[in-house]
Amino acid sequence: MEIRARAPGKIILAGEHAVVHGSTAVAASIDLYSHVSLRFLGGDEGSIKLSLKDMNLEFSWDLRRLENTLSETDGQFPHPSSLRAYSLEFIQAVASLVDEQSIPEAKIGLSAGVSAFLWLYIQILGFKPSVVTVTSELPLGSGLGSSASFCVSLAAAFLVASGSVTLDSRSAGWAALGEGELELVNKWAFEGEKIIHGKPSGIDNTVSTFGNVIMFRSGELTRIKSSMPIRMLVTNTKVGRNTKALVAGVFERSRRHPDAMASVFSAVDSISKELSSIIQSPVHDDISITEKEGKIEELMEMNQGLLQCMGVSHSSIETVLRTTLRYKLASKLTGAGGGGCVLTLLPALLSNTVVDKVIAELESCGFQCIIAGIGGQGVEISSSDHS
């Protein structure tokens, strides 16, 4: 039996970083996914295997060795429906089992993801032999929520395999999960994100789990129904960075300047709330889509200015901002910044000729442009009986 899960990446329309400090943020799923496939192996196969297909990397852990090392550290496994927050001791033991796999130095950033995999697996499925294959359509470490979609798709596949999340056997192809089941997936994925990010707000795993456009504050999500089409150009500067370090940098800045940073976070909170009310408010004669787009553009520029205040912009991001401004288009970074991806609003009346020109100019700088579908379904599952 093969269990497959896919979970979307995301864009943050407003509020990244400030959301970690309690402000409101607005995010939407995008139609680029992480995919996980899980197959249990026969009893004499004494290992858990992880294949990261896109990177051509394979890892394998001997089950007896895993059991000896980890059972000493943290009691009984598995416990899929009763989530336990991770203990530092247990995660250190997991990290040392990952270090033994000798990940190539150039890809050392993956070790956090592999630790999250092993932690989720043992907690949810215990010491069952299997092979897990992961592929991702998302660029890793670029602000599109690759870490969250990785954790959400793993948690969903493992919970279905454990039997604590059940599938409607009548549905063929991709199937959505019920609300309570999504909540369980989201809680597990959040623990995985903690291993990768250090101190995540939970917005990325929440939007990857539930999909749609959401407003998020202090762990609470509100689904938003947009009354207008939102078309965003996503430009990947291809400048690598990691969210954990950027989030830590903002914490340090706010320790140095608590009052000033509190005002910055409060301004971002207002921007996110205003943005969500603009995209939800009905379109009628006195507020046209063009007028709404003008307001959104201004809010994006203000949010970008505040992200600069937080110290998370980058010269590559500034190049994208300058380039798109020449076409009178507004942009802001999305995700953790420091490189990674930038969003540019493409107004409904903007001609395709102009879109093509902007893309050509951005790509001539070495950036990569994507126009992703926004606000689709969250995590989905599919299972098949062939072995």
Ligand X SMILES: Nc1ncnc2c1ncn2[C@@H]1O[C@H](COP(=O)(O)OP(=O)(O)OP(=O)(O)O)[C@@H](O)[C@H]1O
Ligand Y SMILES: C[C@@](O)(CCO)CC(=O)[O-]
Contacting residues toward ligand Y, per CB under 6 A: 12, 16-17, 19-20, 145, 197, 200-201, 203-204, 243, 247, 335-336
Active site includes 204? yes
Binding mask of the shown chain, residues 135 to 174, with x at each position contacting ligand X by CB under 6 A: -x---xxxxxxxxx-x------------------------
How far is the C-alpha of 45 from the C-alpha of 289, rounded, in Å? 59
Buried b / exposed e over 346-355, threshold 16 CB at 10 Å, is: bbeebeeeeb
Q: C-beta of 143: minimal distance to ligand Y in Å?
A: 6
DSSP string, 99-112: HTT---GGGTTHHH
| Nearest residue to 377 (alpha-carbon basis) of 161, 128, 175, 110 | 175
* Phi (first) and psi of residue 154, to 5 degrees: -65, -50
User: Which option in ligand X, Mg ion, ligand Y, none does residue 247 bind, with CB closer than 5 to 8 A by kind?
Assistant: ligand Y
Position among 7, 20, 28, 52 found at the interface with ligand X (CB under 6 A): 52
Q: How many helices (H) and strands (E) does the chain have?
A: 11, 13
How far is the C-alpha of 95 from the C-alpha of 154, rounded, in Å? 18
- In the set 204, 285, 286, 385, the catalytic residue is 204
For ligand Y, the closer of residues 181 and 204 by Cβ is 204
Position among 243, 304, 323, 334 found at the interface with Mg ion (CB under 5 A): 243
Under 8 Å CB-to-CB from 357, ≥6 apart: which residues?
A: 327
Q: C-beta of 206: minimal distance to ligand X in Å?
A: 12
At 58, list the tokens.
């394979």
Q: Under rule CB under 6 A, which residues in 84-113 are in contact with ligand X?
A: 109-110, 112-113
Q: C-beta of 363: minimal distance to ligand Y in Å?
A: 24
Q: Under rule CB under 6 A, which residues in 251-310 are in contact with ligand X?
A: none
How far is the C-alpha of 317 from the C-alpha of 315, rounded, in Å? 5
For Mg ion, the closer of residues 34 and 243 by Cβ is 243
User: Which option in Mg ion, ligand Y, ligand X, none does residue 140 bind, with CB closer than 5 to 8 A by kind?
Assistant: ligand X
Q: Using an 8 Å Cβ cutoff, are 290 and 230 in contact?
A: no
* Phi (first) and psi of residue 47, to 5 degrees: -150, 160
Give the three-state DSSP class for 182.
helix
Q: Under rule CB under 5 A, which residues in 158-197 are in contact with Mg ion?
A: none
Q: C-beta of 91: minimal distance to ligand Y in Å?
A: 18
At 381, list the tokens.
């599952």
User: What's at 110, amino acid-wise?
Assistant: L
For Mg ion, the closer of residues 29 and 130 by Cβ is 29
Interface residues toward Mg ion, by CB under 5 A: 147, 243
Question: Which residues are the active-site residues?
Answer: 204
Interface residues toward ligand X, by CB under 6 A: 34, 52, 109-110, 112-113, 134, 136, 140-148, 150, 196-197, 204, 242-243, 335-336
